[in-house]
Amino acid sequence: MSEHSPFKQNVTGRGSSLRIVSRFETVKRIDDEEVINDPEYIESLGQKVATEYFEDTSNSVVSENNSPDVPFRYSLNPYRGCSHGCSYCYARPTHEYLGLGPGLDFESKIVIKPNAAELFRKWLVEGHHKGRAVEPVMISGVTDCYQGCEKQFELTRRCLEVARDFRYPVQLITKNGLIRRDLDLIEELASMQLVSVAISITTLDQSLTRIMEPRTSAPQVRLNTIRQIADTGCPVMVMVAPIIPGINEQEIPNVLKAAAESGATRAGYVALRLPLTVEPVFLEWLEQHFPDRKEKVIERIRTMRDGKMNSSTYGERMTGKGVWGDQTRQLMTTFCKRYGLDCGVSYGKPTERPKLRCDLFRVVERNGNVQGELF
């Protein structure tokens, strides 16, 4: 077996079963072919893989983005890796910077930032003293801030408490109904026009959700979540992301209709992206669950990516191009108009974004006192 070859492990309850060695590792494990093919060895691997947690001791939690395709400059990520197990997740390659793999490692070895709220607070105070302009922060831009472990660690909630105290505008994006736990904070922030939420819905078919996003909330739970968040006065966007040709594109009209009826006012989408090591993870998933559609899906991906499996070109990487890209844009535009949703041509270019207030920012001392203005 090549030292670069992914090793397929027979696991259950995960989105990926691939052990992929990080691109940046200088020492790689090479498995013995004879051992791997031994029936007893294979049977021993058919088990659930427990999620492990590791502490991140970095001294920053807010990242700055300069991509013209992404509608925010700052993002806050309390976690690295994501237990949701979505095979298509574009963030999988980021785990390789930690010396971990983008396959099974990404969803079973989660890195947490236990001092995320304190680092956020520090960033706000330092920005105030440096005269940095107030701009909304996206929570999270890379992995889901409401993945399962948030119930235990509450890092996202603590960051929202900092945003509330400092009256700083934030945006939230998730596909997990756990966000409803924080409706009290969302309502408080919404009363000051300091928050917007995006809920991702890829399908209304729970049987597809189980294999496409194995550890996420059911579609109906996400629709109920949209309704409850909208009831707080917070603007809610539905993200149809990603749209996978040959798998879920036909669901666009029904997803938009259901989201609008639940209280969403905006919609966006992202075409499937397969950067770097996301490709082998997705293709292994496709072969496992849709072997009869595999060639059709690959052909359509190449059609919208200039014959390649991925494109990193700004302006088209989120939406694709060609006939399929044009048809998807038209489908989104038509049904957003029908159901009264503000619609952008892509995730990166929504036509109408909630105008969050940036003039209420204040610095709160550790004792709870509001710091006086410097000027």
Q: SS3 sequence, the chain?
A: CCCCCCEECCEECCCCCEECCCCCCCCCCCCCHHHHCCHHHHHHCCEECCCEEEECCCCCCEEECCCCCCCCCEEECCEECCCCCCCCCCCHHHHHHHCCCCCHHHHHEEEECCCHHHHHHHHHHHHHHHCCCCCCEEECCCCCCCCCCHHHHCHHHHHHHHHHHHCCCEEEEECCHHHHHHHHHHHHHHCCCCEEEEEECCCCCHHHHHHHCCCCCCHHHHHHHHHHHHHCCCCEEEEEEEECCCCCHHHHHHHHHHHHHHCCCEEEEEECCCCCCHHHHHHHHHHHHCCCCHHHHHHHHHHHCCCCCCCCCCCCCCCCCHHHHHHHHHHHHHHHHHCCCEECCCCCCCCCCCCCCCCCCCCECCCCCECCCCC
Q: Tell me which of 136 and 26 has the higher pLDDT.
A: 136
Residue 29 pLDDT: 45
Q: Quick count: other Cβ atoms within 10 Å of Cβ 326?
A: 13
| Low-confidence winner among 99-113, 225-239, 337-351 (lowest mean pLDDT) | 337-351
Cα–Cα–Cα angle for 203, 208, 214, rounded to 5 degrees: 105
Structure tokens at 148: 């399962």
Give yes or no for a contact between 111 and 54, defined as CB atoms under 8 angstroms apart.
yes
Q: Each residue of 314-339: pLDDT tens digit?
A: 888 899 999 999 999 999 999 999 99
Give yes or no for a contact between 264 and 226, defined as CB atoms under 8 angstroms apart.
yes
For residue 282, which phi and psi values (nearest 5 degrees)?
A: -65, -45
Residue 41 pLDDT: 39
Among all chains, which residue has been given the structure tokens 């060609």?
A: 322
Among 130, 107, 146, 82, which Cα is nearest to 13's?
107
Q: Would you place residue 369 in the very low, low, confident or very high pLDDT band (cuts 50, 70, 90)?
A: confident
What are the structural domains of the chain? 7-343 (3.20.20.70)
Distances (CA, A) of 332 to 58, 111, 217, 327: 40, 36, 24, 9
pTM (whole model) above 0.85: yes
Average pLDDT estimate for 7-11: 60
Structure tokens at 295: 């060639």
Q: Is the pLDDT of residue 255 over 70?
A: yes
Residue 280 pLDDT: 95
Residue 349 pLDDT: 47
Q: Is the pLDDT of residue 371 over 90?
A: no
Q: Quick count: other Cβ atoms within 10 Å of Cβ 216?
A: 27
Structure tokens at 56: 């991140």
Task: For the chain, report the end-to-end CA distance as a whole number of angstroms.
Answer: 66
Residue 49 pLDDT: 84
- Examine residue 140 and say whether the peptide bond preceding it is cis (omega within 30 degrees of 0): yes
20: Cα separation from own chain's centroid: 21
Q: Is the pLDDT of residue 38 over 60?
A: no
Average pLDDT, the chain: 88
